[in-house]
Amino acid sequence: MHGTQCGNLQNYLQGLKQEWAKTIYLSVKRSVEDVLVEIGWPFISTNQPLENVKRTTDDGYKKFQSLMKILALLNNEVDPDSDCICGLPSSISGLRLPMRHLTKPLKKRFENHFSGNRQTNDLSRPELYLTQVLDWCKRPCEFLSEWVQPVFDSINIDSKEEFTRALYGLVVVKLSHDLPLLYEDDYLFGHCIDEIIAFERELRLSVHNQPSVHETLTGERTLEKWLSTEKKYAIEKMDTLLSSDTAWISTSDVEFDGATVLYFTEVAEKFTKTILAMTDRYNVLPQVEHRLQFLDLQLELLKEFRIRMLQMKNEFEDQPL
């Protein structure tokens, strides 16, 4: 009917198509839920190896794959808003129907364990849910490759990356809720930042084109808090190092130009490590403008360190031994 002037007929056929797609989807949706239970997905409550489970439920897996293919075909025809994770950045939203349904049981488990009054919903221990998501990302690789990727090949999507994006969505929503609650506690806020960075680095080892939670970390209020926390702890570290009895003891020496030997004191070496550790943390941010804010902070701290050193030098000169 494309290219014709039968506008009313086109609209009728389009509406009929959408209505049938919705009817088929509702039927397939129920079947998918049943087959996921049948094959024991998501394989996190059993000690039985995945390869053994797969052999004993081969028919179930074939049925699962057939239903995934139908969902892939329906992806552009239905709009199952209720299955979405709301409030996600563009890099994580837009999951395909098959993956939405595949990760729905994990989303339910995540919300059950890490929300409300659950003991595992502990603001002081973000590593609990980050470690859980890491484990979920790694466990089903074989299953995704054999039974899900053939479906995703038809739409040129990497199932492992799509699966990881879905689980990242859980982390993003959780962080968006938890980080503002940590603004008044510098220690817990700093600990959460450290755990997030460790989480991203660990996952990067297994998923190369992974999404990132940087959009959560670089919100105006959160980034401002991160910068102030870095500054606070760097100043405290500087004070501790300069007041140490061993501050001026040489810890290492380096030959320069084959003749001059440069001696590094404890205070210089340890403060340099503090600055480099900060660089290591903020280097996960992809946006140059965000990294430049931390660089400005580092320059400010180095200037402050230099001023402190000059003050101490002047004091020593005014009060010789």
Kind plus residue range of the DSSP H or E element containing 260: strand 260-265
The residue that leads in pLDDT, 22 or 92, is 22
Chain CA centroid to CA 288, Å: 19
- Asked whether the predicted pLDDT for residue 89 surpasses 60, the reply is no
Q: Rounded CA gap, 284 and 261, in Å?
A: 35
Q: Rounded CA gap, 35 and 42, in Å?
A: 11
- Asked whether the predicted pLDDT for residue 5 surpasses 80, the reply is no
Give the pLDDT of residue 26: 87
The answer to whether residues 233 and 278 touch, using CB atoms and an 8 Å cutoff, is no
Kind plus residue range of the DSSP H or E element containing 252: strand 250-256
pLDDT digits (tens, 9 = 90+) for 222-263: 999 999 999 999 999 999 999 999 988 887 666 656 666 667
Q: Which residue is listed with tokens 């488990």? A: 109
Kind plus residue range of the DSSP H or E element containing 318: helix 288-318
Mean pLDDT of 104-128: 95
Whole-prediction pTM = 0.82
φ, ψ of residue 230 in degrees (nearest 5): -60, -45
Percent of the chain with pLDDT over 90: 57
The answer to whether residues 193 and 226 touch, using CB atoms and an 8 Å cutoff, is yes
Q: How confident is the model at residue 80 (pLDDT cuts 50, 70, 90)?
A: low
The answer to whether residues 182 and 192 touch, using CB atoms and an 8 Å cutoff, is yes
Q: Rounded CA gap, 311 and 102, in Å?
A: 63
Mean pLDDT of the chain: 85
Q: Bridge partners of 263?
A: 253
φ, ψ of residue 253 in degrees (nearest 5): -140, 150
Q: Would you state the structure tokens that stand for residue 254, as one six-digit string?
A: 């380096």
Q: Rounded CA gap, 292 and 307, in Å?
A: 23
DSSP string, 43-109: --S--S-HHHHHHHTHHHHHHHHHHHHHHHHHTTT---GGGS-TT--TTT----HHHHHHHHHHHHH
